[in-house]
């Protein structure tokens, strides 16, 4: 048993990205419920597109699966065409929200400042934010991994109170491993996760550092999840493509 198991319940989160119509999402969620009914001591979350949140919420009600969103806006309401607020996510049945995913940063102008604002909005609404951090391949080659992570964590968590922090989940997703089939080596993953935990300890203290769940995201598959979950500072996974197929995702959940 990992030392962390008595402190941090593993979380396996599925990010469906821009895949699945409402009908497809309904069918996928229904299949997944049956496949993970026997799972114990693991939290499960799926994040469908906004258009399927309410549909999936109805299907997974009273199941072991929690509902998450892939993004949110920091304002409570307003003239922000195409955006969605934290309260709207809560009303749709969400418990979690992914914030600062590398694809949001890369393609849609997400910054550490907007991540910071979104974190506060999520926490104020009672949502569990999954804060994504990670370096690009160029940044790793230039040995900037830890300076990049420091900046993302410090700016993203700025002014976050001690009392609010307990809701936070952190996900390390090396950008060079997302959707590429490449996975960071166990040594690389453990090194970064331990670094993040020590960063949290410096900012918020030992107790919260030990309690914070740090997920790994980056081409997680059934054939590597067991090795990843055996690492002392890995508390779960943020799964992309492999979460779209219920049979494959359930194998990851059964690590």
Residues that are catalytic:
101, 173
* Two structure tokens written together for 63: 């199941």
In whole angstroms, what is the distance from residue 96 CA to residue 123 CA? 10
Q: Which residues contact 96 (CB under 8 A, 6 or more apart)?
A: 13, 45, 47, 66, 67, 68, 69, 127, 128, 129, 130, 169
The gap from C-alpha 72 to its chain's centroid, in whole angstroms, comes to 14
Half-sphere exposure (CA, 13 Å, Cβ side) for 9? 8
In whole angstroms, what is the distance from residue 237 CA to residue 172 CA? 9
Q: Residues 154, 215, 132, 145: is their CA dihedral positive or negative?
A: positive
Q: Name the nearest CA neighbour of 74 among 19, 117, 31.
A: 117
Contact yes or no for 29/243 (Cβ under 8 A): no
The number of beta carbons lying within 10 Å of the beta carbon of residue 201 is 15
């Amino acid at each position: 048993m990992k030392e962390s198991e008595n402190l941090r319940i593993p979380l396996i989160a599925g990010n469906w990205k821009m895949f699945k119509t409402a009908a497809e999402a309904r069918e996928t969620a229904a299949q997944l419920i049956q496949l993970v009914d026997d799972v114990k001591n693991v939290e499960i979350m799926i994040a469908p597109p906004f258009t399927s949140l309410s549909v999936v919420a109805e299907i997974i009600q009273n199941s072991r699966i929690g509902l998450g969103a892939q993004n949110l806006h920091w304002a409570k309401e307003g003239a922000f065409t195409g955006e969605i607020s934290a309260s709207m996510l809560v009303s749709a049945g969400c418990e979690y929200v992914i914030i600062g995913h590398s694809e949001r940063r890369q393609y849609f102008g997400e910054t550490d400042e907007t991540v910071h604002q979104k974190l506060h909005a999520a926490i104020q609404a009672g949502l569990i934010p999954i804060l994504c951090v990670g370096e690009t391949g160029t940044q790793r080659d230039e040995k900037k991994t830890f300076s990049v992570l420091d900046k993302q964590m410090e700016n993203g968590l700025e002014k976050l109170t001690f009392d609010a922090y307990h809701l936070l989940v952190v996900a390390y997703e090396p950008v060079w491993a997302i959707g590429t089939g490449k996975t960071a080596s166990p040594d690389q993953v453990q090194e970064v996760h331990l670094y993040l935990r020590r960063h949290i300890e410096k900012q918020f203290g030992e107790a919260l550092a030990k309690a914070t769940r740090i997920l790994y995201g980056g081409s997680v598959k059934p054939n590597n999840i067991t090795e990843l979950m055996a690492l002392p500072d890995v508390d779960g996974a943020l799964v992309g493509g492999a979460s779209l197929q219920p049979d494959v995702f359930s194998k990851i959940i059964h690590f």
